[in-house]
Amino acid sequence: MNPVISMTELTYKAGKRNIINNVSFSVNRGDFVCFMGPNGAGKSTIIKLLCGLFKPYSGSVTVMDKEIGCYSKRKLASLVSYIPQFSSGDIHFSVKEYVATGRYPYLNALKGVSVKDKEVVERVMEITSVKDMCERDISTLSGGERQRVMIAAALAQETDILLLDEPTIYLDPKSAMDILELLAKIHLNGTTMIMVTHDINQALMFGSCYIGVREGTVFFNETDPETLANSGKLDALFDMSFYRFENCGISQILPQRSGK
């Protein structure tokens, strides 16, 4: 199976410092990849390299068997959509206006917004449960509502690959679970997901592949959550001990107190 997106021996520098160092991995169609690791490990940088926001110092990113630099911005946006980390800043668009920006790859300046564009916007607002708030200003929405709007705009791009940088950051547990269940539904409909998360339990619950990143390198690349949870690799990745907590049939991986 040919990967839909891959990184090969990629190095990315900020000044003279290597942020990403000789990283290689591939993602197959239908995967739900979760990147995890400590702060400053390079996870968000990898996501930005995968969607073309950053350019590598060496190595390559390939999307659909073609190097990412060979695509125009418009064409790449029809293949890969990206949801950045949650922003609390004011965005003075209505929900519907913002979702419609996801149609950018297909808009024709001469013909304007097409019937299909309008239909897609209506459909993705329905999928993400934001249709009832379509006239509201985004700045008035809660964190969970705003995140749903961001996902709707990404879905409006109609891409096969969705990149997410900590989509549940700052959300309360219910809002976070609502977002993750929405993403799981989208994934089951055929979208390839690549997500950065700090939540180990979210990753093990929803992912199908787990890539640990530490100091700009791939620390592990695993596909079985049970094997990963019991391997000690999470302890080494985060430089701390974890233990399995089970209660009423619910299992979680929790950090072990140092006892200091």
pLDDT tens by residue, 11-36: 999 888 999 999 999 999 999 999 99
Domain of residue 110, residue span: 90-158
Same domain, 71 and 10: yes
Same domain, 163 and 45: yes
Same domain, 21 and 114: no
SS3 label, residue 258: coil
Residues making up the chain, counted from first to last: 260
Q: Is residue 258 part of a domain?
A: no
Contacts of residue 252, defined as CB under 8 A and 6 or more positions apart, other chains included, come to 201, 244, 245, 246
Q: Minimal CA–CA distance to 233: which of 249, 207, 211?
A: 211
Residue pair 185/216 in contact by the 8 Å Cβ criterion: no
What rounded mean pLDDT belongs to the chain? 92
Same domain, 71 and 5: yes
Distance CA 151, CA 143 (A): 12
Q: Are strands 242-247 and 250-255 parallel, antiparallel or unpaired?
A: antiparallel
Number of domains the chain is built from: 2
Distance CA 213, CA 197 (A): 11
- Residue 212 forms beta bridges with which residues? 36, 220
Confidence of residue 89 (pLDDT cuts 50, 70, 90): low
Distance CA 180, CA 69 (A): 31
227 burial level (CB within 10 Å; 0-12, 13-18, 19+): exposed
| pTM for the structure as a whole | 0.91
Give the tokens for residue 196: 């950065």
Give the tokens for residue 30: 């239908």
Same domain, 153 and 164: no
**pLDDT tops 90 at residue 120:** yes
Q: Is residue 41 part of a domain?
A: yes
Mean pLDDT value across residues 133-161: 94
- Supply the pLDDT for residue 85: 86
- Supply the pLDDT for residue 57: 95
Confidence of residue 10 (pLDDT cuts 50, 70, 90): very high
- Supply the pLDDT for residue 159: 97
